[in-house]
A = this chain, B = another copy of it.
Amino acid sequence: MDLQVQFGKRVRELRLAKGLSQEALALKAEVDRTYMTSVENGKRNVAIQNIGKIIAALDISIQDFFNSEIFTIK
């Protein structure tokens, strides 16, 4: 499973854990809701600026965001 899909899964996992809707997270991250849907579905080759905005909107550190077994590229 490639990193694009893993990233989307991790965003969804954390969003649900925080009880946020896609709309609420998209608003906080200052991205469009449909963009957020495609990110979570692993359909978006997200660039690092938006990666940073989405992670910040989830109120989690970069280290903790990527410290998950979801990420198995190596």
Which of B2, B4, B7, B62 interacts with A74 by CB under 8 Å?
Answer: B62
Q: For this complex, into which size category does the number of interface residues on chain A fall? A: 20 to 34
Is there contact, CB below 8 Å, between A3 and B62? yes
Please choose the segment from A19-27, A28-36, A63-71 that sits at the chain B interface, where 4 or more of its residues have CB less than 8 A away.
A63-71
Is there contact, CB below 8 Å, between A74 and B49? no
Which A residues have a C-beta under 8 Å from some C-beta of B? 2-4, 6-7, 45-49, 51-52, 55-56, 59-63, 65-68, 71-74
For the complex with contacts A3-B49, A56-B73, A62-B66, 9 further pairs of A-B residues with Cβ separation under 8 Å are: A4-B49, A6-B62, A46-B48, A47-B48, A55-B74, A56-B74, A59-B74, A61-B74, A62-B71
